């Protein structure tokens, strides 16, 4: 039961982040779908399908956690469970802190302080870590497949966002891309 409550609190942190430090994006699913006329129909259907798959993937751990409050033994407690909880919260801390820094910054897409020294996309990096942790807790094949779709779609959207920012900021953004890794120093 405690595992379920901790996972539910991870999802509460998503809500708080979105309420207090929303991050605008030219490549959000909503923005891409709102520009329906400028995109080809097949791309809109692909965006919509990916959005549905990502939604199912991201909500599954929450639904399982809520169910486990009523039905016992939905979680197997082992070393991976604890590691998953640690990674889940570590990822959330990265995302929330990054959203806070980004929201505070005047040039939101050219931030070079704090965690943004090491990653241009620490919010996404935090999401990747969070959901990887949740997969360690719930190692279902559907979760692993959903995680792969999630990572690929976020990476694709970051590409769209970076193209937009390169057009908007030009050489300044180009230098920023060359000097700061996409996700993390390797």
- C-alpha of 120 from chain center: 13
Contact between 100 and 21 under an 8 Å Cβ cutoff? The reply is yes
Tokens read off for 146? 């959903």
User: Distance between CA 58 and CA 151 in Å, rounded?
Assistant: 12
- What is Dmax (Cα atoms) for the chain? 57
| pLDDT digits (tens), the chain, 186 positions | 888 889 999 999 988 888 887 776 655 555 555 565 555 555 667 777 778 888 888 888 988 888 888 887 677 788 999 999 999 999 999 999 988 888 777 665 566 677 888 888 899 999 999 999 999 998 888 889 989 989 988 888 888 888 888 888 888 888 888 888 888 765
Place of tokens 């965006």: 47
pLDDT at 165: 82
Nearest to 39 by CA among 160, 175, 128: 160
Q: What is the pTM of this model?
A: 0.84
pLDDT at position 135: 94
């Amino acid at each position: 039961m405690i595992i379920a409550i901790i996972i539910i609190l991870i999802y509460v942190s998503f809500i708080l982040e979105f309420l207090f430090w929303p991050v605008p994006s030219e490549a959000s699913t909503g923005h891409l779908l709102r520009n329906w006329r400028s995109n080809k129909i097949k791309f809109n259907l692909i965006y919509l399908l990916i959005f549905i798959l990502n939604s199912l993937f991201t909500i599954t751990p929450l639904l399982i956690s809520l169910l486990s409050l009523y039905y016992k033994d939905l979680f197997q407690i082992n070393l991976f469970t604890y590691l998953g909880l640690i990674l889940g919260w570590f990822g959330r801390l990265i995302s929330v802190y990054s959203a806070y820094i980004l929201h505070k910054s005047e040039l939101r897409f050219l931030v070079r302080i704090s965690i943004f020294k090491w990653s241009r996309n620490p919010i996404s990096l935090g999401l990747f870590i969070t959901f990887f942790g949740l997969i360690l807790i719930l190692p279902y094949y559907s979760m692993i497949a959903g995680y792969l779709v999630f990572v690929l779609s976020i990476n694709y959207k970051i590409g769209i966002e970076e193209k937009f920012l390169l057009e908007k900021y030009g050489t300044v953004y180009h230098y920023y891309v060359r000097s700061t890794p996409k996700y993390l120093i390797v």
